[in-house]
Amino acid sequence: MTKHTTMSIPKALYDSVKEIIDSVPELGYTTPAEFCKDAIRRRISDIKKECQISKQDVEYIISEVKKSMNNYEGYKSIFDSVNCAIAVFSNPDGMLIAFNKKFLEVLGYSEDDVKDKKFYDFVVPEDVPCVEKNFRARIEGEDVEDNCVVRVIDGSGAVISIGLNCSLYKVGEHVKGVSVLVRKVNGE
């Protein structure tokens, strides 16, 4: 059996949606709630698509990094020039241990701003428990979603949403932390 929830919307929005539904019955909606729930579902679907990083992108990045692993300058050049923000946070404390220029650009911070920061220092305070739980679960090998959207505080102090693609950072079999590909969610 499907579980249902209720939602409240402002009266003015309700009236506007009701007017649209009544004037354009071919849309197929019978109530404003049905219309709003569908709009929310579609927006969530769009957000999930916006923060997906294609498998091909990840494979390309990995192949380029592997090619240059024997050459620090080549590795650093690729790491900084790739058009995707990358950061690595350590196990067990979540300290930022590596990042590229795109990471600073997306979040609007300088290198000095991010020194000695933990991942939790970027996340809006009310989201920290959930993010920390996910970080711990990933470190402990639990099956957690690789892609997610997180609200963070950017360099100007504004709250923005970013899409993350997370994976374990390992050296051999030892878990050293979590590596993250970061994209700003459109509309921010």
DSSP string, 106-131: HHT--HHHHTT-BHHHHB-GGGHHHH
Task: Mark whether 92 and 174 lie in a shared domain.
Answer: yes
- What is the number of other CB atoms lying within 10 angstroms of the CB of residue 35? 19
Smallest CA-to-CA distance from 53 within 44, 43, 62 is with 62
Among the ranges given (79-83, 106-110, 184-188), the one the predictor scored with the smallest mean pLDDT: 184-188
Q: Does some domain include residue 74?
A: no
Structurally, the chain folds into a number of domains equal to 2
pLDDT surpasses 80 at 59: no
pLDDT averaged over every residue in the chain = 81
Each residue of 71-90: pLDDT tens digit?
A: 666 667 767 777 888 998 88
Q: Does some domain include residue 28?
A: yes
Of these ranges, 11-20, 37-46, 120-129, the one predicted with the greatest mean pLDDT is: 120-129
Q: How far apart are CA 116 and CA 7, in angstroms?
A: 42
Q: Does some domain include residue 36?
A: yes
Each residue of 27-41: pLDDT tens digit?
A: 788 888 788 788 877
What mean pLDDT do residues 35-60 have?
71
Task: Mark whether 113 and 180 lie in a shared domain.
Answer: yes
Sequence-ordered list of residues with C-beta below 8 angstroms from that of 36, at least 6 positions apart, any chain: 7, 9, 13, 17
Task: Mark whether 24 and 113 lie in a shared domain.
Answer: no
CATH of the domain at 159: 3.30.450.20
Containing structural domain, residue 20? 11-50
The pLDDT, as a whole number, for residue 60 is: 75
Peptide bond preceding 129 in cis form (omega within 30 of 0): no
Parallel, antiparallel or unpaired: strands 85-90 and 96-99: antiparallel
Smallest CA-to-CA distance from 114 within 131, 101, 132 is with 101
